[in-house]
Chain A
Amino acid sequence: MSNQYAAAAAAFAKLQEHAQKDWARLKEKPLILIGAATCGRAAGALTLLEEVKNELARLNLDANVLEVGCMGHCYAEPIMVIYNEGFPAICYGYVTEGVGARIVRDYLTEGDPGIEFALAALEPNDMFPTFADFPRGIHENKIVLEQCGFIDPQNIDHYIATGGYAALTKALGMTSEEIITTIKDSGLRGRGGAGFPTGVKWQTCLSAPGTTKYVICNADEGDPGAFMDRTILESNPHLMIEGLAIAALAVGAAKGYVYIRAEYPLAVERVALAIEQARDRGLLGDCILGSNNSLDIEIFQGSGAFVCGEESALIASMEGQPGIPRHRPPFPAQAGLWGQPTIINNVKSLSYVPHIVKNGAAWFTSIGSEKNPGTAIFALAGKVVNTGLAEVPMSTTLNELINEVGSGIAGGKKFKAVQIGGPSGGCLPESAMDTPIDFDSLTQAGAMMGSGGMVVLDEDDCMVEIARFFLDFTQQESCGKCTFCRLGTKHMLDILERITKGQGKPEDIDTLTELAAKVKAGSLCSLGKTAPNPVLSTIKYFREEYEAHINEGRCPSKMCKELIAYYILPDKCERSCDACVGSCPVEAIHDNEDRIKVIDQEKCVKCDSCLVACPPQYKAVVKLSPPHLVLEKDKEYREGKK
């Protein structure tokens, strides 16, 4: 064993040396990084990449340009980083068309780094603030996301040069028990949402009888509002692969799978390439780094079923069946894929593993809280200013995360609630803002950690509508096995739909609560058990909104389409302005005898275009709820004219 390990360590040292040389060579010239994960691409990163390359060619400048993943600052996409001698490395945000070429030109030819476009510097210096000088930087503690956005995900050498695969090499010299003890001592809890201790799962799989064992990475991130797994896979796929390989070593598996959603084509592409490169380097395949251990990893693409994130459903789909969960026990760790002991871990759980093996269990427990060690990764979206990915220590409070990391609510609006944990989670109001974010506290507050999706809602968001949205989602995604999940959620959805249309009945709230308890009790897997959470938490914290819908036919947030009408305030309308008329897709806006714009309520499709188009200095378009207020306003106007 020790001889073998020495050989593996020597083989790895060679790989590392080569990679580090390559890495050092990169910075001999100016180095430009462009964030081109899916979020960056949606904001135009590929255009920026082309623009920068063209500009360099045009000016005959010599520089290295890399397409990297996402740094987490999605709000400022497209993002570019320039390393150039004489200045600290600078990260630029909102690099829209034309700006990229300008920064490159001014910086590389005239030495003007274009501070006006800079988000922050990457290392401490006397000239610009760094990310650590902002509230976001104070809270953030990047472990899994550390390399994301700074290395080329398509180049294994970058990962190796920045410390990658050292943990796998170290693990080759450890026994299964040693690896599992390290993970157990670290207190790592599964980041897929349930928070089950990872070490215990591995131990169960190791002790299960059978010589053929499997490890599966669950990358079926289906929660609407969550994009952590996608970003990790697109920005640093090797980290997950290394974690998967260590898991395989720990339980003695020779075959691993990555189960990825088909909706993430770029992630699939990057993981496939990463597996191939790792195999080329001898880090996967037969006799890893010359040792006795072998591991082959394959990708299995999901087919668009949310329930397949549940482990027994995931296994069913890999076996060519509809993804229907089954009773547990036996747990997959005892009898999983093809009846063999199988470990299934989320992308994030596996991504912590190399760091824990490398730095030790004590290091991991020193971060976060006692029962929830380590960090948590959140996808901040919705009405918050700084949307994106944030990695903070466990037990950071909601307030810190939303108001400091996320910089509060956009557009001067008021915070209303935060929806955590996707369809399995719940909505927490302002009064819950001091809740520390960890598996236990969130469950107590009536939400759930889930996988880390966090959608911030402001005063314009209707809580009944969001409950309806999630119920609609879970009802469609229910596999149909359990009657309560199949029919109970349908019944709940029907009630919620009626309420949002203003046809609610006074007894509806009680019926919903009652049904919720039954669906929870009568469902086999977590999809059904958690489906009523959004409804229960919104009733608990926002009951008065339900009552306004039911009793007054009014949507307080003016979101439910059937309960609102668009109206143009006559005294604010600028007669010569036609902005709303041009924006209306159905020609519902016309002039009245005073040349003031009027909306034909029969024709109006409530698309919001006129409200957006109305110049901010007039703000003449408003939403009214209930809709009959339009008639009253009209009457008021006519009487005023007389």
Chain B
Amino acid sequence: MKITEEEKKIAIETTRQLLSTYNDSRGNLIPVLQQVQNKLGYVPAVAMEEAAAHFNVPAVDVYGVITFYNQFRLTPPGKNQVKICMGTACHMRGAHIIQESWERRLNIKMGETTEDREYSLERVACVGCCTMAPVVLINEEVHGKITPTRVDGLIFAHQLDKQKAKEGAAQDE
């Protein structure tokens, strides 16, 4: 996925601004990277370089940290992040079937973002909602007891909401 010059510029500015509130103690490295990701949705290479300079460590060390932890993304996520829980209870209740349904509907694989950057698909280890298995998170919202047909329903509802919002905005104008 290509990142534009504009995005790069924003990334550098955001990272610098965040870094200015932290001293150079190495213990601050992960919290800063988490904040960068919170703001941008991902941690681009330029942000890693900025952080490396701030903490006086080689950029490759920062890269090592980022790639070690599952939470960090190296590419921009979709506007809507779909996360499929892959915990034991979810798995035993068919999480892989749910995963395939999403992949089929969005026409992307796990870890990818749709071409229009509308949806991205990720797996999470366990969100601790095992009693509602199988579970899917759409952005921060937890949906329990998912079936392949509900996947269709969720996407449809989402697009409907979006359309309504669009119409609402058009009316306001």
Chain A residues with a Cβ under 8 A of chain B? 38-39, 41-43, 74-75, 77, 221-227, 230-231, 262-265, 300-306, 317-323, 338, 379, 381-383, 387-388, 419, 422, 453, 455, 457, 461, 466, 469-470, 473, 477, 479, 561, 583, 585-586, 605-609, 612-613
Given A304-B125, A381-B88; A42-B135 close (CB under 8 Å): yes
10 contacts between A and B (CB under 8 A): A38-B129, A39-B129, A39-B131, A224-B88, A263-B125, A303-B30, A304-B125, A388-B131, A461-B92, A583-B148
Tell me the smallest distance from the CB of A466 to a CB of chain B, in Å: 7
Interface status of B28 (Cβ within 8 A of chain A): yes
Select A42's contact among B72, B88, B143, B152, beta carbons within 8 Å: B143
Contact of A379 among B33, B130, B135 (CB under 8 A): B130
Task: State whether B31 touches A263 (Cβ < 8 A).
Answer: no
Distance in angstroms from B35 CB to nearest chain A CB is: 10
State whether A42 and B142 are in contact (beta carbons under 8 Å apart), knowing that A75-B131, A222-B125, A473-B125 are contacts in the complex.
yes
- Chain A neighbourhood of B33, CB < 8 A: 303
Q: A77 to B131, Cβ gap below 8 A?
A: yes
Which B residues, 19 to 42, have Cβ-Cβ distances below 8 Å to chain A? 26-31, 33-34
Name the one of B65, B86, B89, B142 contacting A381, with C-beta atoms under 8 angstroms: B89
A62 to B19, CA, bound (A): 50
Report whether A419 and B88 are in contact in the complex, using a CB–CB cutoff of 8 Å. Answer: yes
Number of contacts between A and B (CB, 8 Å)?
A: 158
Choose one: B30, B91, B128; the contact of A38 (CB below 8 Å). Answer: B128
> If the complex has contacts A473-B125, A608-B97, are A225 and B87 also in contact, measured as CB distance less than 8 A?
yes
Is B50 part of the binding interface, using a Cβ–Cβ cutoff of 8 Å?
Answer: no
B2 close to chain A: CB less than 8 A:
no
B interface list, Cβ under 8 A from A: 26-31, 33-34, 55, 64-65, 68-72, 86-92, 94, 96-97, 100-101, 104, 124-133, 135, 140, 142-144, 147-149, 152
The minimal Cβ–Cβ distance linking A300 to chain B, given in whole angstroms, is: 7
Contact present for B142 and A320 (CB under 8 Å): no
Q: Quick check: B131 and A381 within 8 Å, CB to CB?
A: yes
Q: Enumerate chain B residues within 8 angstroms of A321, measured Cβ to Cβ.
A: 26, 65
Residues of A within 8 A of B68 (CB): 305, 322-323, 479
Q: Which residues of B contact A301 (CB under 8 A)?
A: 31, 34
Rounded to whole Å, the gap between the CB of A533 and the closest CB of chain B is 14
Which chain B residues border A479 with CB–CB below 8 Å?
A: 68
- The complex places the Cα of A225 from the Cα of B127 at a distance, in Å, of 9
Tell me the smallest distance from the CB of B163 to a CB of chain A, in Å.
Answer: 22
Closest 9 CB pairs of A and B: A227-B128, A304-B70, A303-B69, A224-B87, A320-B29, A381-B130, A304-B71, A322-B68, A225-B88
Residue of A303, A306, A317, A382 contacting most chain B CB atoms (<10 Å): A303
Residue in chain B with minimal CB distance to A458: B92
Cα A230 to Cα B131 in complex, Å, equals 13
> Which of A225, A323, A583, A606 has the most chain B CB within a 10 Å cutoff?
A225
Please state if B129 and A609 are interface contacts (CB–CB under 8 Å).
no
Minimum CB–CB distance for B45 against chain A, Å: 18
Q: Which residues from A are CB-within-8-Å of B132?
A: 39, 42-43, 74, 77
Q: 20 new A-B pairs (CB below 8 Å) besides A263-B124, A322-B68?
A: A39-B131, A75-B131, A222-B125, A222-B126, A224-B126, A227-B128, A265-B140, A302-B71, A303-B72, A305-B68, A317-B30, A319-B26, A320-B28, A321-B26, A388-B131, A455-B130, A457-B92, A585-B149, A607-B97, A607-B101
In the complex, the answer to whether A469 meets B91 with C-beta atoms within 8 Å is: yes
CA distance A477 to B91 in the complex (A): 17
Contact of A225 with B126 in the complex, beta carbons under 8 Å: yes
> In the complex the two chains form, is B70's CB within 8 Å of A305's CB?
yes
Residues of A within 8 A of B124 (CB): 263, 304
A32 CB, nearest partner CB in chain B, Å: 23
Once bound together, how far apart are the Cα atoms of A362 and B114, in whole Å?
A: 61
C-alpha gap A320/B29 in the complex (Å): 5
Pick the contact of A318: B27, B101, B147, B149 (CB < 8 A).
Answer: B27
**Contact indicator A387/B131 (Cβ below 8 Å):** yes
Closest to A38 in B: B129
Cα separation A193 to B126 with both chains bound (whole Å) = 18
| Known contacts A320-B65, A323-B68, A225 near B130 by CB under 8 Å | yes
Q: In the complex, A304 Cα to B124 Cα: how many Å?
A: 9
Docked pose: A317 CA to B94 CA in angstroms: 33
Question: In the complex, what's the smallest C-beta–C-beta distance from B37 to chain A, in angstroms?
Answer: 9
Give A159 to B3 CA distance when docked, in angstroms: 49
Chain A: minimal CB distance from B103 (Å): 10
- On whether A320 and B55 interact (CB within 8 A), knowing A38-B127, A379-B130, A381-B130, the answer reads yes
Shortest CB–CB separation between residue A456 and chain B, in angstroms?
9
Residue among A461, A470, A586, A607 facing the most chain B CB atoms (10 A cut-off): A607
**A583–B130 CB distance below 8 A:** no
Which residues does chain A contribute within 8 Å of B71, judged by CB atoms? 262, 302-304
Q: Are A42 and B94 in contact (CB under 8 A)?
A: no
Q: Which residue of B lies closest to A468 (CB)?
A: B91
For A381, what are the chain B residues with a Cβ–Cβ distance below 8 Å? 88-89, 130-131, 133
| CB neighbours of A387 from chain B (8 A) | 130-131
B34: A residues at CB distance < 8 A: 262, 301, 303
Complex CA gap A319/B26 in Å reads 6
Known: A585-B101, A609-B149. A319 touches B27 (CB 8 A): yes
Q: What's the Cα separation between A182 and B88 when bound, in Å?
A: 38
Tell me the nearest residue of chain B to A337, going by C-beta.
B27
- Look across to chain B and name the residue whose beta carbon is closest to the beta carbon of A267: B128
Which chain B positions have C-beta within 8 A of A300?
30-31
Give complex CA distance A466, B95 in Å. 13
Cross-interface CB contact of A608 among B29, B64, B70, B94, cutoff 8 Å: B94
**Closest A residue, CB atoms, query B136:** A42
Q: Which residues of B contact A74 (CB under 8 A)?
A: 131-132
Interchain CB contact under 8 A, A422 and B125:
no
